[in-house]
Structure 1
């Protein structure tokens, strides 16, 4: 009888511990998604804000005109037509490496602030999509990306299947995409561009599921506040990059150009 009571007590303790882990894991993943979502909001606001300042419909206020007929203000001419464009283009890359290599030495608040700065700089560099594509197609592609990302991330969170092999394959595919994009700078092949866009969507779809599973497995209920906070920031950065890249490749496939 005593053995039965001990077994029941151990079972109850195990169930209680499991419930605490599940609750902590949900809170950890929710924190990652909230950080990522806020980063996307910052990126969208900055992209739309800069494109609004850079373009005009008033001929008198324009200082330059693009081949597609869009009129640029002095801000647009400086951002898109002067050496400043290189700063706008490469600033997010600098911010990314700064965050990736310094995050373990930062406080949680500093890491979050660095992520917000990176998201804002990315928004500035992506502002040109509002010049290249119609606003309606950008919005449509965003919602398609959001729905796809949500489904893929949910799959990565709930599946019992180990996605490591698929993830490794997707990483190889990512390097292949980068090489093909560099080659196509010289070839200017529309067929290669289309193929890269299709493969890019598939690669970042797979990475979304795999990264979500990895983030779930990285959770440890014994992490302190600082460690858990930095993990959440880097998790948000990882999923943010998956979302942004899937969105850009889908936009290349589906977007209506101005």
Structure 2
């Protein structure tokens, strides 16, 4: 009886800590998405996107994005929280520059509609990851294999230029990134429960930045996969 009474406050404290950590993570994710959206729109509306697409600058930006993600992931434990925040914001800006080209291929209305569809699917899977009692850890390896398959197929299709392959990759991509959303949200929830809130502001901020980057990537990739189905071409 005494042990059960003691466990109730402990469980409540873990839940509250997890809620606070999740809120910080989602706030940073929202900041990243807002920056990317604003930069993409302004880059397209000013005509700068025409200078980026098909030029060496586009590939420089893409490799800079990849470099930032790998650096942030590898060095998060060694860099300061302010540096991690700056790198995340910088990545959001770079991604906005590269994503501006979608405004040249798709209508603004279809981009907006796809964004809201993505937000709905992302939100539903995030809630599932939060409330489900099922352990989603087993999904990790399966989803990772799916992600590797998407990358390989996408690289091969650069040379094949097959619309059928592109559609299949997009369909699989939607499944993979919806699954990753639930998996990653549950993982971030457990990080909050397992004591990161007691490690100080520096650890909390860095943890929330990494969680935000993970969810940001899930959202952006899901959005791009869905855009293949719902995006209205400008042609």
TM range, smaller chain = over 0.9
Match of 2:64 in 1: 91
Matches within 5 A, 1:1-258: 7-8=1-2, 10-54=3-47, 75-219=48-192, 220-221=194-195, 222-258=198-234
Alpha carbons 2:122, 2:181 under 8 Å: kept: yes
**Alignment size in residue pairs:** 231
Alpha carbons 1:43, 1:123 under 8 Å: kept: yes
Going from structure 1 to structure 2, the CA distance change for 1:77 and 1:134 (only over 3 Å counts) comes to closer
For the residues of structure 1 that align with 2:151 and 2:84, how far apart are their CA atoms? 28
For the residues of structure 2 that align with 1:237 and 1:184, how far apart are their CA atoms? 27
For the residues of structure 1 that align with 2:147 and 2:106, how far apart are their CA atoms? 25
Q: What TM-score do you get using the length of structure 2 for normalisation?
A: 0.93
Following superposition, the deviation at residue 188 of structure 1 comes to 1.3
Greater shift in the superposed pair: 238-247 or 165-174: 165-174
Alpha carbons 1:92, 1:125 under 8 Å: kept: no
Following superposition, the deviation at residue 81 of structure 1 comes to 4.7
Q: What TM-score do you get using the length of structure 1 for normalisation?
A: 0.85
Q: CA-atom RMSD, angstroms?
A: 1.5
Query: Larger relative contact order (C-alpha < 8 A, sep ≥ 6)?
Result: 2
For the residues of structure 1 that align with 2:121 and 2:49, how far apart are their CA atoms? 33
For the residues of structure 2 that align with 1:235 and 1:76, how far apart are their CA atoms? 30
What SS does the corresponding residue of 1:105 show, helix, strand or coil? coil
Following superposition, the deviation at residue 32 of structure 1 comes to 0.6
For the residues of structure 2 that align with 1:232 and 1:53, how far apart are their CA atoms? 33
Gaps of 5+ in 2: none
Greater shift in the superposed pair: 125-134 or 186-195: 186-195
Alpha carbons 1:157, 1:212 under 8 Å: kept: yes
